Amino acid sequence: MNGFDFFLPTRLIFGPGRLSEVGEQTKRFGKTAAIVIDRFLAETGLYKRIEQCLLEHGVRSFAFTGVEPNPLCSIVNQTAELFKDKNIDFVIGVGGGSSIDFAKALAVALTHDGDIWHYVNEPGRPVGEITSKTLPVVAVPTTSGTGAEMTAVSVLVNPETHVKRGLYSEKIYPVMAIIDPELMLTIPRNLTATTGIDALSHAIEAYISTDANPFSDMVAIEAMRQISDSLPAAINSGQKIEARSSMAWGSALAGIAISSSCVTLVHALAHPLGGRFNIGHGEAIAMGLIPVMRRTWMLDIPKFGKIAEALGVCTHNMSPKSAAKSSINALTELIEETGLSLRLGNFGVRQTDLDKLAEDATGYMAGCLESHPHVCSVEEVKNIFLEMF
Ligand SMILES: [Fe+2]
């Protein structure tokens, strides 16, 4: 067994109805909160509900309701400028991964000098140091997907270069994650499917990564079980709190797994699609997962056998190779069940764009690429994009 480190400073508050504790639980972080939420969620009354809970415990709040998918570093800078004289003590990110990532970046931007992009871990230039001055972040996920509530990364897009990269620092782990599956009962089918496949991909990638360790393996396998058991029910019977709870738990576990291990090739392909074409993260993952795993299962027969079992395949009478291969059928069936049938061409990507995408994936996403069991060449990556096309 190889040695490994594990660190997770996030207090997890999990369970249906627990958002009602947001005031009681967060008043320890100060008197003034910035709430980052997207406009759609704010209009559902969720912002008002949180604002009221905070007020009841003596915490006033200011809202930023302009979060978009694939958040831009320029918007983080502008928002920090707007909030800098408000004496913000902590930041609450409410929503999917974009809101939580935005909240983490805002917590840094409010306490550190200069452009937030300076703190993004981009190869080939010095990266700004994120210190403990950064404000505490509370994550309130409303989807079961990115696992951002349990990770030390905030993914942003630079609108000038179309590079999509992360700020990485232990200082930006949320200090608290309030995971209330009741908030997920009304997630539309398509969003349930795309975010669920993202969470599943986190678990699989963390498990097969060259950075995997006994802890991340244990967590990733349980995440796969929870997600594969509950994703179809969450899509088809969205009001079932048991299915939503299992998805929320599976997604959080998958977030812990990638924190301790790493995402790999599927995410190396997905980020350039978000950066250049603003394709939603879950959609990009859903397109890449099968083409990547079909090229990978034979590289780690024992692990893919375990993946098959976690996805519900009875492998008792199979040879190790058949068991490993059966994971691809199980994954394909699960994605078919989600109803996701996406191609790059649907998003305005042209075949002539694939060279640039392959350069991005093997260039600035090399870190994820190199964590995959086989490090793909530019040509191999282009072929995978071609299959997604
Ligand atoms: Fe992801």
Instruction: Note the pLDDT tens digit of each residue in 162-189.
Output: 888 899 999 999 999 999 999 999 999 9
Look at 114-123, 239-248, 307-316 and tell me which has the smallest mean pLDDT: 114-123
What value does the mean pLDDT of the chain take?
Answer: 94
Q: What is the pLDDT of residue 132?
A: 95
In DSSP terms, 168 is beta-bridged to 153
The rounded Å distance from CA 164 to ligand 1 centre is 12
The rounded Å distance from CA 198 to ligand 1 centre is 5
CB 88 within 8 A of CB 137: no
Top CATH class of 189-388 equals: mainly alpha
Q: How far is CA 158 from the centre of its chain?
A: 18
Top CATH class of 11-183 equals: alpha beta
The rounded Å distance from CA 64 to ligand 1 centre is 24
Q: What is the pLDDT of residue 238?
A: 87
The rounded Å distance from CA 324 to ligand 1 centre is 23
The rounded Å distance from CA 97 to ligand 1 centre is 9
Confidence of residue 291 (pLDDT cuts 50, 70, 90): very high
- Tokens at 357, concatenated: 């995408």
pLDDT (average), residues 110-121: 95
Cβ neighbours of residue 124 closer than 8 Å, sequence gap 6 or more: none
**Strand-strand pairing, 153-158 and 163-168:** antiparallel
Q: What is the pLDDT of residue 40?
A: 86
Q: What is the pLDDT of residue 70?
A: 86
- Tokens at 292, concatenated: 């990547």
The rounded Å distance from CA 196 to ligand 1 centre is 10
The rounded Å distance from CA 303 to ligand 1 centre is 21
The rounded Å distance from CA 30 to ligand 1 centre is 31
The rounded Å distance from CA 380 to ligand 1 centre is 21
- Tokens at 243, concatenated: 């299915």
The rounded Å distance from CA 284 to ligand 1 centre is 9
Confidence of residue 4 (pLDDT cuts 50, 70, 90): confident
The rounded Å distance from CA 258 to ligand 1 centre is 9
Residue ranges matching CATH 3.40.50.1970 in the chain: 11-183
The rounded Å distance from CA 288 to ligand 1 centre is 12
The rounded Å distance from CA 102 to ligand 1 centre is 15
3-state secondary structure of 208: helix
The amino acid sitting at 140 is V
What span, in angstroms and rounded, lies between the C-alpha atoms of 370 and 376? 8
What span, in angstroms and rounded, lies between the C-alpha atoms of 388 and 345? 9
pTM reported for the whole predicted model: 0.93
Q: Which long-range contacts (CB under 8 A, 24 or more apart) does 218-223 make?
A: 219/253, 219/254, 219/256, 219/257, 219/260, 220/253, 220/254, 220/257, 220/261, 221/306, 221/310, 222/250, 222/253, 223/199, 223/250, 223/251, 223/253, 223/254, 223/257
Residue ranges matching CATH 1.20.1090.10 in the chain: 189-388
